[in-house]
Structure formats: structure tokens, C-alpha cells
Amino acid sequence: MIDFESTFKISLRSLYINKMRSILTSLGIIIGVSAVIIMLSIGEGAKERINKEISSMGSNLLMVLSGSTTSSGVRMGSGTQPTLTIKDSEAMLKRCPSVLEVAPTVGQVQQLVYSNQNWSTTVNGITPGYMPIRMWEIEDGRSISQDDLKNTTKVAVLGSTVTTNLFGDMDPINKTIRIGGMPFKVIGILKSKGQNGMGQDQDDTVLIPITTAQKKLFGTDFPGMVKHISVQAKDEESLESAQAEITELLRERHNLGKNKDDDFTIRNFTQMLETAKQASNTMALLLGSIASVSLLVGGIGIMNIMLVSVTERTKEIGIRMAIGATAMDIRIQFLVEALLLSLIGGLIGVFIGIAGSKIVDLFSDMTVIISPVPVLISFGFSGLVGMLFGYYPAYKASLLNPIEALRYE
Amino acid sequence: MDLIVIKNLIKTYATGDTSFNALDGVSLNIKHGEFVAIMGASGSGKSTFMNMLGCLDKPTSGSYFLDGIDVSKMSMDELSAIRNRKLGFVFQGFNLISRTSALENVEMPMIYKGIEPEERIKRAKAALKIVGLEKRESHMPNQMSGGQQQRVAIARAIVNDAPIILADEPTGNLDTKTSIEVMEFFVKLNAVANKTIILVTHEPDIAEYCKRIVRFKDGQIISDEKNSYQKGLDSLDKVNSEGIL
């Protein structure tokens, strides 16, 4: 049996002798490995983006929307009929064990004016619980307090987009803006959250006390009505039970008989995002498997070239056998050659894959995350491919009869 | 016991329904240090016999003892080891590995013997020096003349210290002048290094360099006689006067 170093050298040199052919053969593996890495990095990035979205929207979140009532036989969309009240939300907090926190909200688009600047955006009337549920944090100043609610004070917390549009570089704290003609004092600025999954600017918002919104600003026909209630469940497992408890509670509170439809809608946003996460996982897997098919094709290329090489070098094999190479020596030599082709290709593929992922990251909106596991897996896979597809040609070479091989021209 | 003891060797090739004996009961003894020419027309069985001698093929029946070991029943892998250690081959077509330097070609038998790289290079250089090609160790086969290539092949055959050198028409591809050089080299190896040399040829001129001539016909030995060895002695005189080797 010959030593590893010599086998390695012999194989490397015969690959070097046929430089062009070796490079072209490796190209299949290079493309395969880099494609797998880029695809999996994009998949990983998509997953990460959804995770981020979940955490920016708030975790374990249910949205209870009013409406979806039937008036004179015409079924209206959700939110068309204000059927939810602050009392409903208080009852939820008290009587539904799976509910951790509630945040009733009313909202309307209003015109904002400061000095000679104006801006139109959704003004949300909220309770203090809204902030933690929806993952809002205060950048500067203070948040809306229980006292503000009690006293229906005219104070506002601005999102960063609104701040920029109304104030530019000025500090808005303690300045007075007009919302729908009514003066409000700015008490705080929200920390920026950026876009949500649908591409909407989450920072384009103004928060005011819900009581002020209901009683002073919006002048609703239905006192105490809210547009929707954000509900935070205790944990992910209790989302389902919270939904059931709220449905039961609201049907009872709204005196809905057995045959009547719900006059509210509950949306499970966390679940929706979880579904999106699964979809992106499936997508990443799909892309990865398509890319690995090209790795497989690269392997077939290696087998093809190794078979040609064995035929071409029949005489060399005969000489080696006459001089004392055993069948195993010949088999190992050709196997090492195939392995070198695939591993060198794999290594180059890793570099191109990482570089390609970085380029995609730089020049597109996609989030790309290169993690070591896909890199290692695809590199290992390239070795496996070389081993599998290199075995048959190597086996064929080792079966040659030395006399016939020597006679081969 | 003699270096090579062959008894009643038969090799049968089956072609369809008919079978024919390429070797039909060959018995031959060769002592250490002999210089034997094997002659015969094509189809006489001399090439088949050479393949048997070279452990490249196994006989259908009969026995072959090489250096006291029965090799006729060995597996192909065991035969590989025997070829590596006991035999050196010199072929008509030189059979060097192309695009591989002279030094690396000579190194090769030692790789399969498992000798360390430094030792290999040292011995390969020494062998190339013996055949007078120390300045051409990095040349590729296609950069050398036929005579030089054959000398590299001879260096490869002797580098593992094999006691026997098998040469199959070693001068068949060479011109007369180079043929004489190569044959004189074999004479030296036989006389000075005491190698046993077995040489297949169909040229009477070449056979004249040998000490013994064995003739084949139809798979059998038809004559086995001592040779005057005059050409060999002449070339040795020349060597002695020139003081080479």
C-alpha cells in the first residue's frame, strides 16, 4: 500500500497536467456549492426578517376588530360598525385568564399643523397598555399616563416620521401642535420601528389619550366606542384559548343569540407571521434543493471526466500495475483524484458563495445571512459527491488487466 | 534451488468452442546471473511465456517457483508485490509515463514499495547516474531520444534492486547504433551487477549478446543452448578499457 502523501502528489499532478479539463470539471461543483450557499443564505435572511417583524409588531398578539355587522341584510366589512367599547376591553382583562394585557384603540386620519408645516396621518387614541403590547418605546420625553386618560389632557406622542415632517431638526417636546384645529402639547417622541411586513411606515403615527380622542377630538356618535382592541396573550400556547375566551365573553356582553353572527372579528397576527415563517422555511428548502441538483449534475460531470481519464490513461495504469501497483493502489489514486476535483471545486464554491451572498446583500433589498452550517454542509456534500461519482471510474480502473492495459495504444 | 524453476507450464486460451494452448508444457530452469535470450516467431508463445515469467498472468496449470516462492497460485495483489520486488521490466515501447519527469518515472517502483520520499529521490538519482542520464532527470519522456527513454526504463527496472530484469524486445524501436548501446548496457548489468537478464527478441544479432538462447515454437521449447557470447565479451573488453561502471 502506498503512502497518502505520494498518492496525493500523483493525483494532484495528473490534475495539473490536464489543467483546463480539471477547471471545467470543478466548475460544476463550484456552481453547485455557491448556489446552495447563496440560496440558503437568502432563505435564512427571509426567516430572520420575519422574526424581526414579529418582535417589532409585538409578540403573542391578537387583534379584536369591531364591526362585521349586518344592517338591512347588507353585510358590512369589519370595523364599519363600532361595536367594541372600553368596557369590553376592561372585561377581557378581568375575566379572560389567558389575556395578559389589553389596549383599546380608536384611530382617525387627521390634519396636523405646526407653525407653517402641516402633515396628514392617523391619530390613535390609546391607553398606556398600548405601548408594551405593540413594542413601542419612548425616544425622548414621556409616554401617555393613566392621569392623562383620567383628565382627558390634550397631549400627543409623535412618531419619528411625523416629527421630521412637522419639526425638521427642531426639538418638538413641549411645543404645541394642532390636530384637527385643536391644540395638543407634544410630550414625547417614539423610537423608530421602520417599515412593517407590508411596507407601511410604522413611524407615521400620533398617539393621544383614548379619552381625549373619544370625548374631544373625534366627536363620535357612540361614546366609549373603540375601533379595535390589541390583546396580548400570556404566551404563544395560550393564543388559541385567549381567542376562545374573548369570543365567548364578547358574545355574552353583546347579547348575541345562538343564531347571530359575531359583531367583531379576532385576528391572530402572531399565527399569521408564524405561517409566513413556515412558508419562507419551505421556500429556502426548495431553493436549496434546486441548487443541490446542480451539485449533483457537477458530480456527474466528475464521473464523466474520470471515466474518460481512465480510458485515456489505460497504458499508464498498465505500467503502474507492471511496476507493482496493486488494484487498491490504482483505485485509491483515481478516487483521490475525483475527491480533489470536488473538494477544490467545493472550496472555491464556498468562497464564491459567500462573496455572492454579500453581493446580493449589498445590491438588493433582500436580507442575506451567511451562517456556518449551510457552508459546511454544502462543502461536505461536495466531498460526498466526489466520493460517490468518483468510485465507479476508480473501480473500473482497478479491474484492468495489466497485460491488456500495457498493450493499449 | 535455481532462481527460476518452471515445470510443465500450460496456458490455455478459449476462443468460442475451440481452445488452444499458447504454452504447451514448458519446463525451464534459470540460474542466478544468467543472461538468456528467448527467441521465436510471432505466435510461438514467447510473449505469453514472458507474461508468465513477469507474473503479469497466471498459468492454467504447471508450477513456477521464483526465488523459491511458488507464484503460480498467488492472487493478483500478491503478484503485484512480487513484480515490485523481484522483477524489473524493460519494454519495446519504453512505457514511461508521459508528461512525468525521468526522475519521477524512476521513483515510481519505490513508491509502490513504500519507501520514504527522500530515500526515493536519492536512489532514483543514483540509478539515473548509472545509466548516464543524471543531467536529464527533469526531462519529460517526449524531450528525450528513444535510446535515452530506454535507459530511463532500465534505471526504473534496477532501482528497486530486483534480481531479475525482463526485457521484451528492448531494441525493437531503436536504430542499430542505439541498439548496440542498450545491449552493451545489459551486458554490463549482467557482468558487473550480476543481474539475471531474460530478453525476448527475434533479431539474431541481439541474441548474440546473450549467454544462452531458448527458442520457442507452437508453445513449446524447441531448443535451449549455450551461446558463444562473443559480442558480450567484446563489449566487456571495451568497458574495461574505458573503465566505466
3-state helix, strand and coil shares in percent for chain A, rounded to the nearest 5: 55, 20, 25
pLDDT value of residue A217: 83
Distance of alpha carbon B197 from alpha carbon B206, whole angstroms: 13
**Could you tell me what percent of chain A has a pLDDT over 70?**
94
Taking the Cβ of residue B113 and every Cβ of chain A, the question of whether any pair is shorter than 8 Å is answered with yes
The mean pLDDT of A294-319, rounded to a whole number, is 93
Residue A153 one-letter amino acid: T
pLDDT tens, residue by residue, A331-383: 999 999 999 999 999 999 999 999 999 999 999 888 888 989 889 999 999 99
pLDDT at A111 over 70: yes
pLDDT at A29 over 80: yes
Shortest Cα distance from A22 to chain B (angstroms)?
A: 16
pLDDT value of residue A38: 92
The mean pLDDT of B82-106, rounded to a whole number, is 93
- Supply φ then ψ for residue A220, to 5 degrees: -75, 160
| Confidence bin at A1 (pLDDT 50/70/90) | low
| Confidence bin at A234 (pLDDT 50/70/90) | confident
| Confidence bin at B183 (pLDDT 50/70/90) | very high
At A381, list the grid cell. 456534500
* Chain centroid to CA B97: 18
pLDDT value of residue A262: 80
* Chain centroid to CA A55: 11
pLDDT value of residue A72: 54
pLDDT tens, residue by residue, B189-216: 999 889 999 999 989 999 999 999 999 9
Q: Which residue of A has its CA nearest to B120?
A: A6
* Residue A140 CB burial class (10 angstroms; 0-12, 13-18, ≥19): middle
Taking the Cβ of residue B141 and every Cβ of chain A, the question of whether any pair is shorter than 8 Å is answered with no
**Could you tell me what percent of chain A has a pLDDT over 90?**
35
| Confidence bin at B8 (pLDDT 50/70/90) | very high
pLDDT at A239 over 70: yes
pLDDT value of residue A220: 64
Alpha-carbon Rg for chain A in angstroms:
34
Residue range B4-242, CATH number: 3.40.50.300
| Inter-residue contact A78 to A67 (CB < 8 Å) | yes
Residue A123 one-letter amino acid: V
Cα–Cα separations (whole angstroms), residue B68 to B64, B81, B102, B163, B199? 9, 15, 33, 13, 21
pLDDT value of residue A80: 55
pLDDT value of residue A68: 54
Contacts of A328 in chain B (CB under 8 A): 77
Please identify among residues 61-80 of chain B the ones whose CB lies closer than 8 Å to any CB of chain A: 76-77, 80
Taking an 8 Å cut-off on Cβ atoms, the answer to whether A327 and B76 are in contact is yes
The three-class DSSP label of residue A204 is coil
Residue A181 φ/ψ region, left for φ over 0, alpha for ψ in the -120 to 50 degree band, beta for the rest: left
pLDDT value of residue A67: 67
**Secondary structure tally for chain A: helices H, strands E:** 13, 14
pLDDT at A229 over 80: yes
| Confidence bin at A265 (pLDDT 50/70/90) | confident
- CA-wise closest residue to A89 among A78, A75, A108, A102: A102
Q: Which among A108-117, A217-226, A287-296, B121-130 has the top mean pLDDT?
A: B121-130
Give the up-direction half-sphere exposure of residue A56: CA atoms within 13 A in the CB hemisphere.
17
Q: What beta strand segments (E) does A127-233 contain?
A: 138-141, 155-158, 176-179, 182-190, 205-209, 225-226, 228-233
| Inter-residue contact A144 to A198 (CB < 8 Å) | no
Q: Measured over all CA atoms, what is the biggest interatomic distance in chain A, rounded to whole angstroms?
A: 106
pLDDT at A225 over 70: yes
Taking the Cβ of residue A320 and every Cβ of chain B, the question of whether any pair is shorter than 8 Å is answered with yes
Q: How does the average pLDDT of chain A come out, rounded?
A: 87
The three-class DSSP label of residue A111 is strand
Residue B77: which of A5, A323, A326 has the nearest Cβ? Answer: A326
pLDDT value of residue B14: 87
pLDDT value of residue A75: 60
- CA-wise closest residue to B219 among B46, B63, B72: B46
Look-up of cell digits 544462452: B212
Distance of alpha carbon A363 from alpha carbon A355, whole angstroms: 12
pLDDT at B25 over 60: yes
Cα–Cα separations (whole angstroms), residue A165 to A118, A158, A172, A183? 8, 11, 11, 18
Mean pLDDT is lowest, of A160-164, A275-279, A333-337, A353-357, for A275-279
Give the up-direction half-sphere exposure of residue B11: CA atoms within 13 A in the CB hemisphere.
24
Taking each helix axis from N to C terminus, what angle separates B146-158 and B117-130, rounded to the nearest 10 degrees? 130
CB atoms within 10 A of CB B158: 21
The mean pLDDT of A176-204, rounded to a whole number, is 85
Taking the Cβ of residue B81 and every Cβ of chain A, the question of whether any pair is shorter than 8 Å is answered with yes
Taking an 8 Å cut-off on Cβ atoms, the answer to whether A403 and B117 are in contact is no
At A241, list the grid cell. 384559548
- The b-or-e profile of A214-224 (16+ CB within 10 A means b, else e) is bebbbebeeeb
The mean pLDDT of A189-205, rounded to a whole number, is 81
Q: Which among A10-14, A131-135, A249-253, B139-143 has the top mean pLDDT?
A: B139-143
- CA-wise closest residue to A50 among A371, A370, A366: A366
| Confidence bin at B146 (pLDDT 50/70/90) | very high
* Residue B208 CB burial class (10 angstroms; 0-12, 13-18, ≥19): middle
- CA-wise closest residue to A330 among A383, A400, A386, A389: A400
Distance of alpha carbon B192 from alpha carbon B189, whole angstroms: 6
pLDDT value of residue A73: 57
CB atoms within 10 A of CB A101: 19
Q: Which residue of B has its CA nearest to A3?
A: B114
| Confidence bin at B241 (pLDDT 50/70/90) | low
| Inter-residue contact A89 to A229 (CB < 8 Å) | yes
Q: How does the average pLDDT of chain B come out, rounded?
A: 91
Residue A403: which of B51, B83, B160 has the nearest Cβ? Answer: B51
pLDDT value of residue A277: 82
- CA-wise closest residue to A155 among A141, A170, A137, A139: A141
pLDDT at B102 over 70: yes
Taking an 8 Å cut-off on Cβ atoms, the answer to whether B114 and A2 are in contact is yes
DSSP designation for A191? P
pLDDT tens, residue by residue, A41-83: 988 888 888 877 777 777 788 888 876 555 555 665 555 566 7
Render chain B in DSSP notation, one character per residue. --SEEEEEEEEEEEETTEEEEEEEEEEEEE-TT-EEEEE--TTSSHHHHHHHHTTSS--SEEEEEETTEE-TT--HHHHHHHHHHHEEEE-TT--PPTTS-HHHHHHHHHHHHT--HHHHHHHHHHHHHHTT-GGGTT--GGGS-HHHHHHHHHHHHHTT--SEEEEESTTTTS-HHHHHHHHHHHHHHHHHS--EEEEE-S-HHHHTTSSEEEEEETTEEEEEEE---HHHHHHHHHHHHHT--
pLDDT at A197 over 70: no
Taking an 8 Å cut-off on Cβ atoms, the answer to whether B117 and A329 are in contact is no
Distance of alpha carbon A8 from alpha carbon B117, whole angstroms: 13
Contacts of B98 in chain A (CB under 8 A): 316
Contacts of B75 in chain A (CB under 8 A): none
Contacts of B51 in chain A (CB under 8 A): 403
Contacts of A327 in chain B (CB under 8 A): 76-77, 80
| Confidence bin at B217 (pLDDT 50/70/90) | very high
Taking an 8 Å cut-off on Cβ atoms, the answer to whether B99 and A17 are in contact is yes
The three-class DSSP label of residue A186 is strand
The three-class DSSP label of residue A104 is strand
